[in-house]
């Protein structure tokens, strides 16, 4: 890059470097440079900066200007630089739009949507959007969008211009965080292709759940929560109780928790939250115990733990292959009356200013370099074409044979009926129903009731078997399960004594588990129920003799006569 800059300088091209800055609530204004060869922080400094999290904007732009000047001076970087800036997320969403809409029409419709937010009642929004990796249908497309106040971009750009810098790009904190997690490798397992995982992002006004498949965002949910109104364990209990319910709608293999507020520790949330997913966490706040990536010795020790994931993410090279990208700085056409006014061009991480006269010289050199191989090709290509004629004919024959096979396959009507989206949707729905069944089972079991068998199948089919001390316990459990699993048509399939003989119950000390039951919504064919063979006369006579023989050695039973299992089932089910 140094040699390249020297060559361009000799041709009259002026270069401008690029620096990376982040507005991070709780830290302030950060400036950072990465060493991408070693994946370390090469240079870093920060200054306090007030941010209004309710209005989601900077409090004082003069303070921003002063902080930026001090950061350039501390890191000994020229203010004549381009700045790529990370800003806190104001709004984010997922929308569907018809494919026939032009990009301008999509932008206009998204602006209409975001203007409903209280933040944009007073300020004009700037919307950035991108297509999702998955389409919802043949005529609709899924769009990820975000927005920020136009006044914020304009005021920051003006403040940077006053010190000689240029705002080259502005991104939001969510995409910066995802790039930092990928760049550092802490979510290497989660970001593999095909892996489902959830990112739970905790802020000062609530939490967000971003449902991911590998590196792609597939769904988004925001839960407002007055975090500042809670104290101590009450705060963590409130977050976990709400999140436990929300996460049931987003079953996944992994859950990664990131806290960006100094009020909440992601580590404690990870310990308290109740989920079957594998849980990991990152404290991007004052609870941080170690840096996300190593810092060089040139970074002051007091700064090391202040380096936010958002600052690292914004400094990750734009060449990194990451699918979700937003930029609030729109390119605008610049009109000028000076025919020799310098034009800005970007090469890699650097921007260069070049005049039209110098540009003509460079174009002439490039054309001369390109014409040499063209002239050589003109001389040797005909001879090569003649020698390769037989190969071309052979390839054409192969193409004709393949085309014939394609037509035969098309005419045979063979089609690939596998639909990836439908399969994912069905799998997630079945897992959600099963998770709801396990959750309902854990909350509904009375003290004197035992579950001996629990089976949950696809399409919401359940079969529960167990035993209990009393009919009241069975009834309470049955009603709780019906209330928890609505629209599943649960019924009491079986309710009977463990033994038909009261004396046998007393003798075998089985009164503590006197009833066995079965609750299900499956048919008898699905359960595999077959009728029990009828007792022959001799078998019934032997049973009667055995019963009389046992009773002859005991005092008369004082236990009240129990109702038949059929009557109990009718009383509980109401049939």
| Termini Cα distance of the chain | 84
Of the candidates 428, 417, 426, the one whose C-alpha atom is nearest the C-alpha of residue 213 is: 428
Domain count across the chain: 4
Task: Tell whether 542 is covered by a domain.
Answer: no
Does some domain include residue 509? Answer: yes
Instruction: Output 407 or 248, whichever has higher pLDDT.
Output: 248
- Residue 167, SS3? strand
Which of 63-67, 522-526, 539-543 has the weakest average pLDDT?
A: 539-543
Are 181 and 304 members of one domain? yes
Rounded to an integer, the average pLDDT of 131-159 is: 85
**Same domain, yes or no, for 166 and 310?**
yes
Q: Which of 175, 253, 243, 254 is nearest to 209 (CA)?
A: 243
Sign of torsion, CA 279 282 285 288? positive
pLDDT band at 350 (very low <50, low <70, confident <90, very high): low
Residue 283 belongs to a domain = yes
Specify if 551 maps to a domain: no
Written as one string, the DSSP assignment of 89-158 is --EEEEEEEETTS-HHHHHHHHHHHHTTSGGGGSS-EEEEEEE-SS-SSSSEEEEEEEEEEHHHHHHHHH
Q: Count Cβ atoms below 10 Å from residue 434 Cβ, excluding itself.
A: 16
The answer to whether residue 127 sits within a structural domain is yes
Instruction: Decide if 547 is inside a domain.
Output: no
Q: State the residue for tokens 């054309």.
A: 367
Do residues 134 and 239 both lie within one domain?
A: no
Q: How far apart (Å, rounded) are the C-alpha atoms in residues 194 and 211?
A: 13
Structural domain that includes position 83: 16-186+292-333+341-354
CATH code for position 205? 3.30.420.60
Rounded to whole angstroms, how far apart are CA atoms 165 and 157?
9
What integer is the mean pLDDT of 327-337?
52
Q: Which residue has the higher pLDDT, 33 or 537?
A: 33
pLDDT at position 458: 73
Q: Residues 180, 193: one domain? A: no
346 and 481 in one domain? no
Residues 170, 26, single domain; the answer is: yes
Q: Which pLDDT score is estimated for 536?
A: 43
User: Is 282 found in the same domain as 200?
Assistant: yes
Q: Which of 3-12, 202-211, 324-333 has the lowest mean pLDDT?
A: 3-12
229 and 360 co-located in one domain: no
Question: Within this chain, do residues 204 and 320 fall inside the same structural domain, yes or no?
Answer: no
Lowest mean pLDDT segment, chosen from 14-18, 144-148, 202-206, 507-511 = 507-511
Per-residue pLDDT at 290 exceeds 60: yes
Alpha-carbon torsion angle 485, 491, 493, 495, nearest 10: 90
Domain check: are 373 and 477 in the same one? no
pLDDT of amino acid 180: 94
Task: Indicate whether 152 and 298 sit together in one domain.
Answer: yes
Asked whether residue 416 is domain-assigned, the answer is: no
CATH of the domain at 88: 3.30.420.40
pLDDT score, position 502: 60
Q: Residue 471 pLDDT more than 60? A: yes
Residue 82 CA to residue 560 CA, distance in Å, equals: 90
The pair of three-digit structure tokens given for residue 360, joined into one six-digit string: 């003509």
Residue 495 has pLDDT above 60, yes or no: yes
Q: In this predicted structure, what is the pLDDT of residue 400?
A: 87
Task: Evaluate whether residue 117 is within a structural domain.
Answer: yes
Residues 275, 305 within the same domain: no
């Amino acid at each position: 890059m140094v040699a390249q800059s020297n060559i361009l300088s000799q041709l009259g091209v002026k270069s401008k470097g690029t620096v990376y800055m982040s507005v991070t609530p709780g830290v302030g204004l950060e400036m950072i440079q990465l060493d991408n060869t070693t994946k370390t922080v090469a240079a870093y400094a920060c200054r306090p900066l007030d941010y209004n999290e309710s209005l989601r904007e900077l409090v004082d732009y003069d303070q921003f200007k002063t902080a930026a000047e001090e950061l350039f001076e501390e890191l000994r970087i020229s203010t004549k630089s381009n700045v790529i800036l990370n800003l806190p997320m104001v709004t984010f969403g997922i929308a569907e739009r018809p494919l026939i809409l032009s990009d301008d029409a999509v932008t206009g419709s998204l602006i209409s949507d975001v203007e409903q937010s209280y933040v944009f009642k007073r300020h004009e929004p700037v919307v950035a959007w991108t297509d999702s990796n998955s389409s919802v249908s043949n005529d609709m497309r899924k769009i990820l969008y975000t927005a920020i106040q136009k006044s914020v971009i304009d005021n920051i750009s003006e403040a940077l211009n006053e010190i000689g810098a240029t705002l080259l790009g502005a991104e939001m904190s969510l995409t910066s965080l995802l790039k930092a997690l990928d760049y550092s490798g802490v979510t290497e397992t989660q970001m593999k292709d095909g892996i489902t995982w959830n990112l739970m992002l905790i802020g000062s006004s609530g939490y967000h759940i971003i449902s991911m498949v590998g590196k792609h965002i597939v769904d988004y949910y925001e839960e407002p929560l007055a975090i500042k109104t809670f104290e101590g364990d009450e705060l963590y209990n409130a977050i976990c109780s709400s999140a436990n319910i929300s996460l049931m709608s987003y079953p996944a293999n992994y859950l990664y928790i990131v806290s960006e507020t100094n009020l909440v520790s992601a580590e404690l949330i990870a310990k308290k939250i109740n989920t079957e997913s594998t849980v990991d966490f990152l404290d991007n706040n004052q609870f941080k115990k170690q840096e996300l990536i190593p810092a060089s010795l040139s970074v002051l020790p007091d700064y090391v733990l202040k380096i936010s994931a958002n600052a690292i993410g914004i400094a990750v090279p734009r060449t990194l292959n990451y699918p979700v990208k937003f930029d609030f700085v729109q390119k605008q056409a610049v009109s000028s009356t000076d025919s020799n006014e310098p034009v800005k061009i970007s090469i890699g991480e650097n921007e260069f200013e070049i005049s039209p006269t110098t540009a003509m010289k460079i174009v002439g050199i490039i054309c001369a370099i390109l014409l040499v191989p063209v002239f050589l090709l003109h001389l040797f290509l005909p001879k090569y074409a003649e020698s390769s004629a037989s190969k071309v004919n052979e390839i054409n024959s192969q193409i004709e044979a393949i085309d014939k096979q394609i037509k035969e396959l098309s005419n045979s009507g063979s089609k690939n009926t596998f639909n990836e989206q439908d399969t994912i949707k069905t799998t997630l729905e079945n897992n959600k129903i099963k998770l709801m069944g396990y959750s309902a089972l854990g909350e509904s079991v009375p003290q004197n009731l035992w579950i001996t068998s629990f089976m949950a199948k696809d399409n919401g089919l359940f079969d529960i078997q167990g035993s209990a001390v009393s009919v009241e316990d069975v009834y309470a459990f049955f009603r709780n399960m019906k209330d928890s699993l609505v629209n599943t048509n649960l019924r009491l399939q079986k309710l009977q004594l463990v033994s038909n003989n009261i004396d046998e119950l007393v003798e075998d000390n089985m009164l503590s588990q006197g009833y066995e039951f079965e609750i299900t919504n499956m048919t008898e064919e699905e359960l595999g129920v077959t009728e029990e063979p009828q007792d022959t006369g001799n078998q019934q006579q032997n049973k009667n003799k055995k019963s009389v023989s046992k009773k002859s050695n005991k005092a008369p039973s004082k236990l009240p006569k129990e109702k038949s299992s059929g009557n109990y089932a009718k009383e509980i089910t109401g049939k």
